[in-house]
C-alpha cells in the first residue's frame, strides 16, 4: 500500500510519517531531506501537476493539509475548499479510491467561524464525491511539537489559565496519527468520525489546567473568560491568534467529540491519557527550549 499524504510537514503529518509502515508520497512546498520510504512531491494544493504526481500509484489519500488561521473567508476557502476539490479531482483521475479527509469539530458549527464554514464546505465536497471516503473530525490535537497550544502552556508556567466557557475534547497527536493510518488501510466508509482521548464527556478547562499544572510542577489559577470578554480581547488585539472569528469559535460551550471511538472499536482505540499526553508535551517543549 502506498499512501498519498498532504500536510506531511505539519504537526500531524510529521507524526503520520513517523508512524507509517507503508511507502508514502508526501506533498511539500520546500525541499526535504531524503527519508526511507518517502517520495517527496514538490508543490501545493493549487498545483494540479503536483497533485497528479502525488496520487499516481497510490492506494489511498490522507488529506491532512488545511488553513487554520486566515484574515478572510476567501483565504480559508482557498486552502480548505478549493484545495480539497483539486485533490479529489487528482485522486479520481489517478484511480485512487480511498480518501481520508481530516476536517475539524469546527465543521459541526459552521455558523460560528469562517474556519468552521470552510471546513464544512470541504466536507460537503468529499461527501458528494464518488470516492470511498471517511471524514475525521479531530478535537484539540496536542503533543510535544505543537505550536498552536504553546501559549496556553507558557501562561500556565506563569500560574494562569484563561478558561473560555464549556467543555472540550482532546487527542494526543500520536493517537490521531494511528487512527488515520488504520482508516487509510480500509474498513468503514462514507462516514464522519469524531474521535478523542476516550474521556467521557470530554474535559473541563479546569481539569485541563490542573493537568498542565501537574506536568509543569506549578499551581495554576483558572480565570474564567466569557464570550463578551473574549470579543473585547480580540478587538483590542491582545493576541495575533485571537481574532474575532476565533473568539466566537473558542467560546462555544460544546466541543466534545461523540461516537467516533465506539465506531472504531476493534481496530483503533486511544492509548494516551490526558495526564500522560500533557506530560509528554511538556517534556517535548522543554527539550526544544520552548518552555
Percent of the chain with pLDDT over 70: 98
Distance CA 175, CA 187 (A): 18
Rounded to 5°, the CA angle 133-13-121 comes to: 45
Report the CATH number that the domain containing residue 279 is assigned in CATH: 3.40.50.720
Range of the domain at 191: 3-287
Q: Residue 232 — pLDDT band, cuts 50, 70, 90?
A: confident
Q: Residue 164 — pLDDT band, cuts 50, 70, 90?
A: confident
* pLDDT at residue 6 in the model: 98
| Mean pLDDT in residue range 39-64 | 98
Mean pLDDT for all residues in the chain:
94
| Mean pLDDT in residue range 137-152 | 96
**Beta-carbon contacts of residue 158 (< 8 Å; ≥ 6 apart):** none
Positive or negative torsion for Cα 66, 71, 77, 79: negative
Domain count, the chain: 1
pLDDT at 241 over 80: no
**pLDDT, tens digit (0-9, with 9 covering 90-100), for 78-96:** 999 999 999 999 999 999 9
pLDDT at 144 over 90: yes
Count other Cβ atoms within 10 Å, centred on residue 240. Answer: 7
Q: Residue 239 — pLDDT band, cuts 50, 70, 90?
A: low
Task: Write a three-state SS string for the chain.
Answer: CCEEEECCCCHHHHHHHHHCCCCEEEEECCCCCCECCEEEEECCCCCHHHHHHHHCCCCEEEECCCCCCCCCHHHHHHHHHHHHHHHHHHHHHHCCCEEEEECCHHHHCHHHCHHHHHHHHHHHHHHHCCCEEEEEECCEEECCCCCCCHHHHHHHHCCEEEECCCEECEEEHHHHHHHHHHHHCCCCCCEEEECCCCCCCCEEHHHHHHHHHHHHCCCCEEEECCHHHHHHHHHCCCCCCCCHHHHHHHCCCEECCCCHHHHCCCCCCCCCCHHHHHHHHHHHHHHCCCC
What's this model's pTM, rounded to 2 decimal places?
0.95
* pLDDT at residue 237 in the model: 63
Amino acid at each position: 500500500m502506498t499512501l498519498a499524504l498532504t500536510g506531511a510537514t505539519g504537526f500531524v503529518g510529521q507524526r503520520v510519517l513517523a508512524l507509517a509502515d507503508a511507502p508514502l508520497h508526501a506533498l511539500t512546498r520546500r525541499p526535504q531531506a531524503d527519508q526511507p520510504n518517502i517520495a517527496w512531491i514538490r508543490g501545493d494544493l493549487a498545483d494540479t501537476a503536483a497533485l497528479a504526481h502525488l496520487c499516481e500509484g497510490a492506494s489511498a489519500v490522507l488529506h491532512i493539509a488545511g488553513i487554520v488561521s486566515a484574515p478572510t473567508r476567501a483565504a480559508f476557502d482557498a486552502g480548505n475548499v478549493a484545495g480539497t476539490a483539486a485533490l479529489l479531482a487528482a485522486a479520481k483521475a489517478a484511480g485512487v479510491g480511498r480518501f481520508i479527509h481530516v476536517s475539524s469539530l469546527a465543521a459541526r458549527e459552521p455558523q460560528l467561524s469562517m474556519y468552521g464554514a470552510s471546513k464544512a464546505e470541504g466536507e460537503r465536497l468529499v461527501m458528494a464525491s464518488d470516492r470511498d471516503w471517511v471524514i475525521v473530525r479531530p478535537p484539540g490535537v496536542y503533543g510535544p511539537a505543537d505550536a498552536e497550544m504553546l501559549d496556553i502552556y507558557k501562561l500556565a508556567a506563569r500560574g494562569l489559565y484563561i478558561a473560555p466557557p464549556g467543555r472540550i475534547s482532546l487527542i494526543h497527536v500520536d493517537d490521531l496519527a494511528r487512527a488515520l493510518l488504520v482508516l487509510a488501510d480500509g474498513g468503514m466508509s462514507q462516514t464522519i468520525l469524531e474521535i478523542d482521548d476516550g474521556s467521557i464527556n470530554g474535559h473541563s478547562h479546569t481539569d485541563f489546567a490542573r493537568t498542565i499544572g501537574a506536568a509543569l510542577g506549578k499551581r495554576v489559577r483558572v480565570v474564567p473568560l466569557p464570550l463578551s470578554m473574549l470579543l473585547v480581547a480580540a478587538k483590542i488585539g491582545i493576541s495575533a491568534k485571537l481574532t474575532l472569528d476565533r473568539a466566537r469559535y473558542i467560546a462555544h460551550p460544546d466541543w466534545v467529540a461523540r461516537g467516533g471511538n465506539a465506531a472504531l472499536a476493534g481496530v483503533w482505540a486511544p492509548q494516551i491519557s490526558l495526564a500522560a499526553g500533557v506530560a509528554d508535551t511538556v517534556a517535548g517543549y522543554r527539550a526544544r527550549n520552548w518552555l
